[in-house]
Every structure is written in structure tokens, then in C-alpha cells.
Amino acid sequence: MKILSIETSCDETGISIMEAKGGIKDASFKVLANNASSQIDVHIPYGGVFPALAKREHIKNLPIILEKTLKEAKLDKKEKPIDLIAVTYGPGLEPALWTGIVFAKELADKWKVPVIPVNHMEGHMVSPFGKEKGTFKILKTNYPVLSLLVSGGHTELVLAKKVMDYKIIGQTVDDAVGEAFDKVARMLGLPYPGGPQISKLAEEVRPKEKQSPFSLPRPMLHTKDFNFSYSGLKTAVLYLVRDLQKENPNILQNEKIKSQIALEFENAAVECLVHKTKKAIEQYKIKTLIVAGGVAANKHLKEEIKKITGKKAKLLLPAKELSTDNSLMIGIAGYLNYIKNKKKVPRLSSIKATGNLSL
Ligand code: KG4
Ligand code: ZN
């Protein structure tokens, strides 16, 4: 069947079309077209995503991307080009989510096709199976599966003892790790999104100085639970920068100092993620570890995670293009849910944007 998927939860407008077949354990996909429009440039002056602007940009871009995607998939002349529409309904920015949902409902009415609402975090979870082009399959996965989901809005450890059965065993008690990367980048005068910028700075000094001369806290590292906290770490960077600026107001013009701060921040942020993930792998005898979400693109995190999985657990990571938000992952999760629910979908009128949707 042909599935069209729509992602508008944050600052990326994405639409893709895939041909999907098979069951939840052996589904296979062929990408027919995949397009996206990033709003990063629009949000840079605000240092983060500005919801009203995100909504405006999604509304403007959705019809343009749809036309391009249908054309590329060679479906634009068909009356009913698609069999199923998958759309993100949460979590995310509600004004942004609504644009995708309204758009999906209009298409569903026009083409008389069902709509399956998709949880964005489940999308991230299946992203390691996807490819930007060509064909791919859901790989055979051994359970229990642990997912470390790390994005701009989420930091959570999700346990699945069986297929598509999720339990959040730990999460951030305040800020998400991606949000901390973004805020620290801002403190260092770097543009949004901050994760790749911080990572680039840190990598400039990492090969030479494994340890930074600065020292930042590792919040909640030794708590018995699987939770995280990033607000205190972010504030510690704020105080560090403030103290350094007292001695030298132009300190942030010193690239080396900035890189050393970025290195210590990245080390602290990653150490907390890796430590709790390792504990969860041991406690739940995890066979497969998935690390996904925008922060999964972080090189240092990937390297440190590889050290803890070893031979015990198989590590699944998304391709770089599929770690940040994209519509392909929504199509994969949408199809799997459609099959799992025996092709039952909710009434169109009951599909609503749910900003704080949980797994
Ligand atoms: O999953 P995503 O694209 O959007 C959300 O659902 O939030 O994640 C975006 C987050 C941003 O906070 C961004 O700074 C972070 O992912 N990010 C990174 C890297 N690339 C993106 N963080 C650290 N290192 C990276 N290389
Ligand atoms: Zn995301």
C-alpha cells in the first residue's frame, strides 16, 4: 500500500510517500519520494523555535511540498494516489501540529482515505530502520528493547518487553538534553540549533585535551532512578561564563576557551545519559538498545554509547539524516500501527493535536 506521511511538530515541514508491505515484525518499505523544508533560518533571529512563525511556515510550505512529493512519486495525476495518510499528532508545538493534522484531514476527505495519527517519539524510535532513499526492512529485533530518546523536547528511557509495548522507566525532571545544548550554545553566542555547534566546538579540542580545564556538575548521576536533569547543568554554564566575563569581558571572543566550555558541557551531558542507560541495560537485561532523536546525531554520545553496549546488547542508531525530525519515521510508525490495529483508524474528528502526548 502507498502511505503518505506528514511531520509538522516543530520546525521541519516534511512529507514523504512510501510503498509499504508486510507485518509488524517484517514490514518492508520503498521510498517513492521524500521532501522537507527546514525553518531554521526563520527562527535563528529568535534563538529558538517561535510557535506562531512555525505555524505560518508550515501552512505556507505544506501544499508546495505535497505537490513536489506527488510529482516525484509519479502520482500527481491520480484521483486517489494514496491508501493511507500518517500524521504526527504529538508531542510538539500545538499550533504547528494542527497545521499537519488539518492538512491530513483535508486530503483524507478529498481522496477518501484513512488517517493514522502517529506519536512523534514512536517515530524517532523506529528511525534506525529507515533509509532516506531506496528500500529498507524492519530488522529482526531481540527483546527487551531499551530506547534512549534524546531530542529538543525529550530525554527519556523507554522499555519495551515486547513489540510496540512501551513503558517510560526514566526521563528528565526539567529540561531536555537537546534544549540544554541549544541554551548553552546561545550563552556562547552560537546560533540555533545549538547541538551541532557545541559538538563542532568540542570536537576541535577533544583530540588534544580529553579533559577540559573547566568542571561542570553531572546532575542526578548517582540517583537510584533512571531520571535525568539538565536545568542545573545549564545554569552552571551560565555562572561559569558570567565569572569568566567578570575577569575578562571579551572572554567569549577566545575560541579556545569557548571550545573548552563546550567540551566540558558535552562531556557532562553525555556522561549522565550513558551512565543511566548502562544501568538500565544491566537491570533489565536489555538485548537491543535504540538511541534516537536529534541529539543521537552527537558524535561523542555515539562513541560513548558504543562502549557500553559491547557484545551484550545490539545497538541501533539512525542514519544522520533520520536522527533529526523527518516524515519518513512518521510513515514507518504509522504503517506499523495501522497493521497492529488491524487497519482500524480513529474517526477523523477525534484526531487532535496533543502537545504533551506521552508514549
Ligand atoms: O528530534 P529533533 O530534530 O527535534 C525534536 O523533536 O526536538 O531534535 C532537535 C534537537 C535540538 O535541540 C538540537 O540542538 C539537537 O537535537 N541536536 C544535537 C545535534 N544535532 C541536533 N545535539 C547535540 N549534538 C548534535 N550533533
Ligand atoms: Zn523530534
Q: Kindly give the distance from the C-alpha atom of residue 3 to the centroid of ligand 2, in angstroms, as a whole number.
A: 20
Give distance in angstroms: CA of 178 to centre of ligand 1.
Answer: 5
Asked whether the beta carbons of 287 and 314 are under 8 A apart, the reply is yes
Q: Are 316 and 74 in contact (CB under 8 A)?
A: no
Q: Averaged over 11-19, what is the pLDDT?
A: 97
- The gap from C-alpha 257 to its chain's centroid, in whole angstroms, comes to 30
Nearest ligand to the C-alpha atom of residue 47: 1
pLDDT confidence band for 108 (50 / 70 / 90): very high
Residue 178 one-letter amino acid: G
Report the SS3 class of residue 166. Answer: strand
Domains delineated in the chain? 2-132+322-350 (3.30.420.40), 145-317 (3.30.420.40)
Ligand 1: distance of its center to the CA of 324 in Å? 6
User: How many whole angstroms separate alpha carbon 144 and alpha carbon 268?
Assistant: 28
Nearest alpha carbon to residue 199 among 141, 246, 263, 245: 263
CB of residue 297 inside a 6 A radius of ligand 1:
yes
* Residue closest by Cα to atom 23 of ligand 1: 195
Q: What is the pLDDT of residues 170-190, one digit of tens each?
A: 999 999 999 999 999 999 999
Name which of 147, 174, 184 is nearest 163 in CA terms: 147
Residue 39 in contact with ligand 1 by CB distance below 6 A: no
Cα(29) to centroid(ligand 1), Å: 26
**224 pLDDT exceeds 90?**
yes
Ligand nearest to the CA of 49: 1
pLDDT, one tens digit per residue, over 290-320 is 999 999 999 999 999 999 998 889 999 999 9
Which residues contact residue 35 at a Cβ distance below 8 angstroms, ignoring those fewer than 6 apart? Answer: 14, 15, 16, 65, 68, 69, 72
Say if strands 166-171 and 288-292 run parallel, antiparallel, or are unpaired.
unpaired
Global pTM reads 0.96
For residue 78, count other CB atoms closer than 10 A to its CB. Answer: 12
Each residue's pLDDT tens digit, 309-349: 988 899 999 999 999 999 999 999 999 999 999 999 999 99
User: Please, are residues 300 and 199 in contact by the beta-carbon 8 Å criterion?
Assistant: yes
Report how far apart the first and last C-alpha atoms of the chain are (Å, whole number): 26
What pLDDT does 41 receive? 86
Whether 328 lines ligand 1, by a CB cut-off of 6 Å, is no
Q: How does the average pLDDT of the chain come out, rounded? A: 96
Q: Indicate if the pLDDT at residue 210 is higher than 80.
A: no
Q: 91 CB under 6 A from ligand 1?
A: no
Q: What is the pLDDT of residues 25-53, one digit of tens each?
A: 999 999 999 999 988 888 888 877 888 99
Is residue 90 lining ligand 1, measured as CB closer than 6 Å?
no
Contact 194 CB / ligand 1 (< 6 Å): yes
